[in-house]
Structure 1
Amino acid sequence: MTLEQLGWNDRFAAAFAPHAAAGCVPARVTLELKGFFEVTGAEGARLGECSGKFARDHRSAADYPAIGDWVAVAPQPGDDTRAIIHAVLPRRTKFSRKAAGEHSVEQVVAANVDTVFLVAGLDGNYNLHRMERYLAAAWASGAEPVVLLNKADLNDDTQALIAELGITGRGVPVHVVSAQTRRGLKALAPYLVPGRTVALLGSSGVGKSTLINRLVGERLQDTQEVREADNKGRHTTTQRELIVTPSGVIVIDTPGMRELQPWDASAGIDAAFGDVTAVTARCKFRDCAHGVEPGCAVQAALADGSLDPARWSAWQRLQRAAAYEVRRVNPEARQLQKKDIKKITKQLRQRVHEKSGEE
């Protein structure tokens, strides 16, 4: 297998040049294991382990290799099955979330992805707010998001769902497909280009593994049925894996994620809701809460119909989720919120007092 078949390009080659002088060779992370990584290069796959210096220099979990990363490795002398990882090349795109647990830790789910298929099931699994969080994380990652509503053979009434997604994910392609019957799969061909990396993300039971098998034309991933009692999936994929398909398409499969908190969704939200942020920028006061403040451009736009109320609500939901994560780990942010609440409460009381005086 060549490096180009793994997604290598001139950008990565330029970033790797200093490591070549040190005797390293490039490889891509194709499987994540506990404490180890499968790294695949021109000479095949090896079991990779980070060097001691790498561990000393990198304390954050997000700095460590993730599925899809390109790394600089030194093959072990006399052992063609092992390699030492000395560096992670700069990531072109990065899909991150907050790792499960009390502490706020960034977890890189997939790196250097060109297109991310956000998969939802139409068998009772679909949840708009969850899909909004997936979209926020995808926008922040830099990859191209595409929504796949799978299991169309179980639910043909999708127009309302597509309309809802159109409000939140304006400009994001939405495809209704069925991995079982192959309905709608031909429409995905433009995304499946040899040498490009496609990642499938979604909660358990949405059919990611079945979709991979259908898209590549052979059985690469094991599949299981969802539980009929609650439509919740059983974890078929238990680890992140990068697969180069016979057609040359690079596919990343990931374990199901029922809950997703994007690591830093603010930039992605602003980019996706440019129309909304443009309105908020016209408010008279920079710290406008878009409620009762005089000169609020948002309230004016909602009143004259130039701002869609549903889109405004979607923006608010995503901003609240992003702000909550910041406050949860940042005491200063929590104090600022308390000050904002006091300010808004004072304004409301003043407004009530003025109205009562007018009467």
Structure 2
Amino acid sequence: MTQKREKNIYQNLSALGWTSFFQDQLENRHSDRVATARVVGVRKNSFAISDGQTEWLATAAGKLQQANRRYPVVGDWVLVTDTVIHEVLERKNRLTRGAAGGHGKLEAVPTRQQVIAANLDTVFIVCGLDRDYNLRRIERYLTLVYNCDLTPAIILTKADLQPDPEAFVQEVETIAFGVPVHLVSARDATGLVRLEETIAPGRTITMIGSSGAGKSTLLNRLYGKSVQATNATSEKVGKGTHTTTSRDLIVMPQGGMIIDNPGIREISFWDADKGVESAFPEIERLAAGCRFSDCNHAHEPGCRVLQAVANGEIAQERLDSYHKMNRELTYLAERQHKSADRMEKERWKDVALKIKSMKKNMKK
């Protein structure tokens, strides 16, 4: 491959978010047969991939179905020959959640992971200022994003439905410390102009939120024309339908990329990192002043957090939300640890059986 051609290839990839993090993984790999591309869409039995100049459909090699292999998701960088994806490069990060079905019941904590998107710069948490608006849900989204060590921004859509939308911004800011909160209205483009500044060339954003929150409408307005189908929200129940049924990475006129996702019904966790600590920093800060270092902030004497609730510094609903998510994540971590131990025991059991079989064959 000539240096000029190679330079052109990586210029095209850079427009899709290619960086030295991925380039370093290709060291000592030189083959004209193997192409590098990014997954820009997931279909029923195939993937839409792009090299920054051409987009085509590809299928995943059978070996990627193995449990210990990365399986392609939107945002992944892959190595492909013709129309077959052979390898998914190491991810810079990923947005994950527990597979739907277990939210709200400790005994039904998800047993498998769903990777929503990979290699992201920002996660837009989209919430409509209609019946979709819910502070507790926003807290869960923030915890989900922080658990994945990602950067959130909150987008409040449908601001034109409220006589005083700024009041909602102020309320969200009381539970989303340091997180940018953007107000978007169908009648005013001011919020869109500010959002466009975040869609810088080479940057990848994914949007999460409920059905009908206005994700696809927001994407269309930012793009300048309709690129995603939209449906009206039901006035009777205040909920939207799943207009977006697939995950697609859209290259925006501003130079960045946005991944539109289907609406999330259940915000179930999978990664159990420091999401709660990041989503509830004021409670963590106050906890340092509790009399006991292992205080649960439930009924212990000398609890600084309970004192703050009594004084009106923290809402009881926020503390309840903190406790609920802590319980979920603790239970999830314990379940995952037990599953890992069981898998390790089964692995060594298989090894022992193979050794026993080998010894038996040697005696024959």
TM-score bracket for the superposition, by shorter chain length: 0.7 to 0.9
RMSD: 2.9
Q: State whether residues 79 and 86 of structure 2, in contact with CA within 8 Å, keep that contact through their aligned partners in structure 1.
A: yes
* Corresponding residue number in structure 2 for 1:11: 21
How far 1:244 sits from its partner (Å)?
A: 1.0
Which range moves more in the overlay, 292-301 or 113-122? 292-301
How far 1:255 sits from its partner (Å)?
A: 0.7
Separation (CA, whole Å) in 1 of partners of 2:136 and 2:277: 17
Q: 2:328 aligns with which of 324, 338, 354?
A: 324
* Corresponding residue number in structure 2 for 1:169: 176
Q: State whether residues 265 and 322 of structure 1, in contact with CA within 8 Å, keep that contact through their aligned partners in structure 2.
A: no
How far 1:91 sits from its partner (Å)?
A: 2.0
* 1:277-296 equivalences in 2 (<5 Å): 277-296=284-303
* Corresponding residue number in structure 2 for 1:351: none
* Corresponding residue number in structure 2 for 1:308: 313
* Corresponding residue number in structure 1 for 2:121: 114
How far 1:320 sits from its partner (Å)?
A: 1.6
Which range moves more in the overlay, 148-157 or 321-330? 321-330
Matched residue type, 1:37? F
Q: State whether residues 326 and 333 of structure 1, in contact with CA within 8 Å, keep that contact through their aligned partners in structure 2.
A: no
Matched residue type, 1:178? S
Separation (CA, whole Å) in 1 of partners of 2:199 and 2:53: 25
Q: 2:260 aligns with which of 250, 253, 266?
A: 253
Q: String of CA shifts for 1:255-274, please: whole Å, max 9, x gaps.
A: 11132123235412213434
Q: State whether residues 97 and 107 of structure 1, in contact with CA within 8 Å, keep that contact through their aligned partners in structure 2.
A: yes
Which range moves more in the overlay, 94-103 or 179-188? 179-188
Secondary structure of 2:177's counterpart equals coil
Q: State whether residues 94 and 120 of structure 2, in contact with CA within 8 Å, keep that contact through their aligned partners in structure 1.
A: yes
Secondary structure of 1:327's counterpart equals helix
Q: Aligned pair count? A: 321
* 1:100-111 equivalences in 2 (<5 Å): 100-101=100-101, 103-111=110-118
* 1:206-285 equivalences in 2 (<5 Å): 206-285=213-292
Q: State whether residues 139 and 279 of structure 2, in contact with CA within 8 Å, keep that contact through their aligned partners in structure 1.
A: no
Normalising by structure 2, report the TM-score: 0.78
User: Is residue 2:185 matched to residue 1:182?
Assistant: no
Matched residue type, 1:24? V
Q: State whether residues 134 and 260 of structure 1, in contact with CA within 8 Å, keep that contact through their aligned partners in structure 2.
A: yes
* Corresponding residue number in structure 2 for 1:354: none
* Corresponding residue number in structure 2 for 1:95: 95
Distance 1:20 1:96, change over 3 A: farther
Q: String of CA shifts for 1:217-247, please: whole Å, max 9, x gaps.
A: 1221111111121121122111000011233
Matched residue type, 1:156? P
Matched residue type, 1:193? A
Q: String of CA shifts for 1:152-178, please: whole Å, max 9, x gaps.
A: 111132344223322221111111111
Separation (CA, whole Å) in 1 of partners of 2:227 and 2:176: 31
Q: State whether residues 243 and 250 of structure 1, in contact with CA within 8 Å, keep that contact through their aligned partners in structure 2.
A: yes
Runs of 5+ consecutive residues of structure 1 not aligned to the other structure:
76-81, 335-359
Normalising by structure 1, report the TM-score: 0.79
Distance 1:55 1:231, change over 3 A: same
Q: State whether residues 114 and 144 of structure 1, in contact with CA within 8 Å, keep that contact through their aligned partners in structure 2.
A: yes
Q: State whether residues 58 and 64 of structure 1, in contact with CA within 8 Å, keep that contact through their aligned partners in structure 2.
A: no
Secondary structure of 1:260's counterpart equals coil
How far 1:249 sits from its partner (Å)?
A: 2.0
User: Is residue 2:185 matched to residue 1:154?
Assistant: no
How far 1:189 sits from its partner (Å)?
A: 2.4
Q: State whether residues 19 and 72 of structure 1, in contact with CA within 8 Å, keep that contact through their aligned partners in structure 2.
A: no
User: Is residue 2:34 matched to residue 1:24?
Assistant: yes
Runs of 5+ consecutive residues of structure 2 not aligned to the other structure:
1-10, 103-109, 339-364
